[in-house]
Every structure is written in C-alpha cells, then in structure tokens.
Structure 1
C-alpha cells in the first residue's frame, strides 16, 4: 500500500511539471521617449510621458535615462605678453526633476578644445595669431537611474501622463592664460526615456497531442514519469 501512495505522489508531480510552463510568469517592458531640441541656455522645459497602467501586471522597476547634449562655439583671445596653451570648455548642466520638483538625474556634457596662441597681437578680434573662434563643437553625456522600491512608483502609475522638468544651465569656462578673453555660444538639448518592467501571466495555451520542437524539457520529464508509472505494478507490502 505504501508503494502505491508513493507512485501517486510521483504522478502528481509529473503532471505538475507538464502544466508548470503554461502558468509561468513572464517579464515585459514598456518604453516611452520624449525630447527637447537644442536651444540657448539657460532654460527650463516641461516633459510629459505616459504613466504605467497597473492593469497590465505587477510593476517591478522603472528605468529613467537622460541623454544630455551640448553644442555651440568657443572664441578665445590670449592677451598675455607671451604665448600660452589655452583651453575652452563648452559645458552645460542638464537636470531632470520629478513631478514634485525633486532631482531625478543630472547630465554634464562638456566639449573641450585646446589651442596654442601667440602673445597678444594687438587686435581684439578672436583671430590673428593670438585668437581663435571654433564652431560646431558638441558632446553628449548619458545618465540613468533605476527605481525598484514600490513607494517610489506612485507618481508614475495610473491613468494619463506625468510631468518631468528639464533645466539646462550653461557652465562654459576658459583657462590657460593670465589675461584671457572668452566668448561662448552654448546650446543644450536632451532625450528622456522611461522604461517600465512588469510581470504578467500568459493566457492558458491549448495542449497539443504531439510535442513540437522547442517544447520545454519539463514537459518531456513529466510525460516520461507518467509513462513509467503506468507500466509499473502496484505491490502491497
């Protein structure tokens, strides 16, 4: 009798292995994007993105990505009595803030250029031998943050959209000479992306009579266990 009970348990386990893949939980991801075109700093823009619809499944994490761009020109004039190696840094501080205006991400894109300039040539024109003007300078900086605590999801879950605030401040600088004049044209822009990762259950699938290639190994294990047990004889101890 004990052997019969043992075989019954094994048969139940075999059928469980067959059915397990049908109800497996799968992770899915939804991604939305928004962008702010290049314009002169300093500015603040509002970005609107869709919230996560909780009817789709259980939200596991939210990934925010910020790609900040800086672009523009650098003009330098060495006014020293001797030659100097000067550096111009075209830079911006691009901040992304949550709906409550608290900081979410900061990107600091910087494009640097170096030039050997002679002693001041007597003409303040960002040209000649002591001056230079460099255009179409650009760079991109990417930053990201992952939210995994459910309490942090609240502003981003529900119907409709949520708003983020993008602020771009110019931080361009020049160094390399004691008497150095610099002029910058600093433009900034950004791309913002939000990705929701959530768990959902697949709809039940119809069982096929003949297993096809690619069927999970657990199905074959379950079938094998069941076939072996049906061929065994029940013995009473």
Structure 2
C-alpha cells in the first residue's frame, strides 16, 4: 500500500504572528512547525501500514510552501514516514485553498505516475487558515472518492470504512481505493519522534519539486489568482488589567455576584 500524507508548516501559535502588507500571513519571519492537526494524519497513515502487517508499503509526506516548510516534512520523517516531497516555488506565495488544491493534485498525479498512490491522508484543517476544504477540493480534482472527518479508520483489501461523529449521530462511510481520507483529532494520539527516528530521518529521501516539474503555470496560483482576499486586519488589543473584588467584612460574595451580573455572566 502506498500512502501519501499531506502536512503543512504553520506559524507557531505562541509566536508573534502578523500579516504582510498584502494581507498574506508572514511565513518567513516567524517560527513555524508542523500543524498539530496534521500530526494526527501522519499517525493514521503510519497506523494503516502497521495494521496491514506483512504487506509492502510506502508512506510519503508531501508539503507545499516556502523553504522553511520542509521542516514539516522532516517532522513527519522523524515520526516514521518513509520519504518526503516538498513543493516549493516563489509563485505559490499567497495561494488560497483553490490554488493549493491544484498544486497538491498535480503533485499527487506526478507521484501516482511513478508509483500508484492508494490513499491520500489529510488532517481536519490547518491550524492557521482553518479552512478544512482542501481534502474535498483535492478529491474533486483527482476524481477520487472522499471519506472525511474520520474518528475511526478501518481497512480491508481495497475497502476503507470510517466513523464520522456528528452533533447528534455517528455515520459509517465506506469507499474503494484510491481515495482521499481526512481524520480528526479524535482519531488517535500522535506519536512522539524517538531518538532513533530522529537520527533515521536524516538518511531518508527528500525530494524538492517546482511548479514547472508539476506542469502548473505561475498565473494559476499565487495571490493574483486567489478567489479570496484579506481586505483589512487589526492587531489584537493588549489585555487590560483585571478587576479585584475585595472582601471587606464578609461582603465579597455580594460584590462578586454584582460584578458578574453587571458583566451579564449570570
């Protein structure tokens, strides 16, 4: 089984994140890391191979982004992925979900031509954009079935069955390979890279591709081709000092209740 897992390098939520003047997120001047939700995708990709013990398998991590985005692939390699692919091209900067799905689809097609891809595994959403639509867009471009938002994944032969937890019910959905699969953060805790895995990752193959390698024109991607636009941004205001409710002569409970009522908390 050949599995392709999509990973994204996102700005660290604890870092000083900001937008560029053109409305795009600064991905160069801020520390980044593998999107936490994509770690669950890596975990499920690895579990799929472990559950089918005895079969030949390859797990490939694919990312699209600037030079630093390769760190997301390296983290996946450390977790146990076999090889990595990094699509990097200056023209991609500013791409929205539509253009990103195009680049990913072309990358999948290129990899599929060399060695048939059975499953593309994605996370629930990226922790920066939080769109969650790329798996569906990718499946549409590939003409593959999609089984998305999985909390449980099971396979048998060329069949994949998932459980999807909704607000009022749990759905069971199945499809035949090849397909696009996305998993939620309820699908299983992601493993930590071991020291052995970190050292082994340094020797694993890591390929870099450009738009030209994928047959994608620069005008089809980037900020100029985006269907969406960030019109304005406002910095989060600094946190104001809290109010202290003093307990004087046993009046603290009354003062606290009045404070909560004034703020419409009770």
TM-score w.r.t. the length of structure 1 is 0.21
Higher relative contact order (CA 8 A, sep 6+): 1
More helix by share: 2
TM-score w.r.t. the length of structure 2 is 0.20
More strand by share: 1
